[in-house]
Amino acid sequence: MSSFIYGRRSMMEVLIANKRRVHRVFFAVGAHGPELDQIKSKLLLMKVQFEEVPRGKLDRWTHDGNHQGVVAKVGDLPQIDFRNFIDDLAMDPPPLLVALDEVMDPQNIGVITRSCCALGAQALILPQWRSGGVTDGAEKASAGAMEHLPLITAANLGEAIRRLKDKGFWIFGADGAGKVCDSLDLKGPAVLVMGNEGKGLRPLIRELCDQLVAIPQVTGGVASLNVAQATSILLYEIQRQRRQ
């Protein structure tokens, strides 16, 4: 399988991580800049072919996405087996994982991946079905973070959570009815579970959580946060506690 990735930052991170095959890279005619020069130098060292094409062709391939003058045809990221990853995961210092329960918007998945990389999560767990998945839009929104963070597909998210509980993880489900995050001890091995953009956590997943956690909000503020925003805030609170 192959797909397109686009954007200067994403392209550079693909080359730095070197996790998947780069088949060919296309630059818009007339596109220039130091970032593109760096990408071309890297491609020459890696002996990857590239060429210039009309900008309109890149627009069509990316459905008018913000490709910044560079698009690449690449192979898929390597698959990571959930059981092997969990069995090999060290528990000291306490690990932090994020799991998404039917988060459908690829942009949200990309931004969440970026936050995971920046705020210390070791992996992102995605359900095999009913998930926005690893798309070109998600890759662009992640600014290349998807090339570095382990992305693990779980055939059954509920069963994956049960296995994580057996491993010694405490499962925190994001829910407005939960306890506010700064009143909880978040320093141990933790899985932060984020729910669907509209419905939140499914009842089965909510029941499997050891604790529901909420973000304190000011009176009169908006009723809810975007799932990507909420993930970033909760990850920051976890790292704030761990640094102390």
**Which amino acid belongs to residue 88?**
D
Element spanning 126, H or E:
strand 123-127
pTM for the complete prediction?
0.91
Dist. CA 173–CA 157, nearest whole Å? 13
Q: Please tell me whether the peptide bond between 106 and the residue prior to it is cis, using omega within 30 degrees of 0.
A: no
Condensed to tens digits (0 to 9), the pLDDT of residues 149-159 reads: 999 999 999 99
Q: Does residue 58 have a pLDDT over 90?
A: yes
Mark which of 75, 104, 126 sits at the end of a domain.
75
Label residue 2 by pLDDT band (50, 70, 90).
Answer: low
Condensed to tens digits (0 to 9), the pLDDT of residues 157-211 reads: 999 999 999 999 999 999 999 999 999 999 999 999 999 988 999 999 999 999 9
Q: Which residue(s) pair with 50 in the sheet?
A: 25
Q: Does residue 224 have a pLDDT over 80?
A: no
Q: Does residue 140 have a pLDDT over 70?
A: yes
Shared domain check, 68 and 28: yes
pLDDT at 67: 93
Shared domain check, 158 and 131: yes
Q: Does residue 220 have a pLDDT over 70?
A: no
Mark which of 27, 55, 75 sits at the end of a domain.
75
CATH code of 166's domain: 3.40.1280.10
pLDDT at 3: 83
Please count the structural domains in the chain. 2
pLDDT at 136: 82
pLDDT at 223: 63
Shared domain check, 199 and 133: yes
Q: Which residue would you say has higher pLDDT here, 5 or 234?
A: 234
CATH code of 52's domain: 3.30.1330.30
| Domain span holding position 101 | 82-243
